[in-house]
Amino acid sequence: MSTGDLCGLRIVVSAGTTYEDMVPVHFLGNRSSGHMGFAMATAAAARGAEVMLIAGPVQLATPEGVMRTDVRSAAQMHAAVFAALPCDIYIGAAAVADYTPAQVSASKSKKSDGPLTLTFVRTRDILAELAVDPRRPRLVVGFAAETDDVEAYARDKLVRKKLDLIAANRVGVPGSGFESEDNALLLIDATGTRALGPAPKTQLAHSLLDEVAAGLKRKFLDADRHG
């Protein structure tokens, strides 16, 4: 029997990059290492939650006590997240591709001297769809990687995607972001903005879960108050 402040909660965490295939040997990916999402899954399981980790292509071992589904593309991640419902909390830590090639050719194209033009189409926004789904988890948490105006862009995302909490980090600065062991986050919700870190991602994960647990408690209290 597990113990901990998240005992009895089912948490789904997405982590890492996605690969959008263009031709059999080329794909579109990004630099997300998956460390932040894996750290969240590790910390949540250690605190007693039942954790389902939906991982893009990353080089990381499955944390102890965590269930894991591996996916490759944004479409596969979308399907895996929705197949993992219902859950109490969704933490979207994956850097999901916003665009995918309109067509995947079956064979490797032969290069020519001229330029190459490819058409991309939008992927489905997992986080935004989940937040308005009838099976919406009680808490929907997003991440935002921004290069400037971090707080303003992240708050806009919080409202637009109907999230409960968003963790924003500044990419492109040393000691923070995608490939770093450390991170600094701005946590933004309806009650305000808090800064976390810089700290190792493993430590930040626990601080972020403290905020998640507090957010869930507030929701319970609100629900009680409003019948």
Residue ranges in contact with ligand C5P by CB under 6 A: 14, 74, 92, 94, 96, 98, 123, 125-127, 142-144, 157
User: Is 30 an annotated catalytic residue?
Assistant: yes
For residue 125, the Cα-to-chain-centroid distance in whole angstroms is 11
Complex with ligand C5P: residue 22 or 141, whichever CB lies closer: 141
Q: What are phi and psi of 6, to 5 degrees?
A: -105, 10
Residue identified by tokens 């080089």 is: 59
CB of 94 to ligand C5P, least distance (A): 5
CB of 61 to ligand C5P, least distance (A): 21
CB of 74 to ligand C5P, least distance (A): 5
Q: How far apart are CA 129 and CA 10, in angstroms?
A: 19
The residue annotated as part of the active site, out of 21, 23, 30, 120, is 30
Complex with ligand C5P: residue 48 or 104, whichever CB lies closer: 104
CB of 28 to ligand C5P, least distance (A): 13
Complex with ligand C5P: residue 92 or 101, whichever CB lies closer: 92
Complex with ligand C5P: residue 74 or 186, whichever CB lies closer: 74
Q: How far apart are CA 161 and CA 130, in angstroms?
A: 9
The catalytic residues are: 30
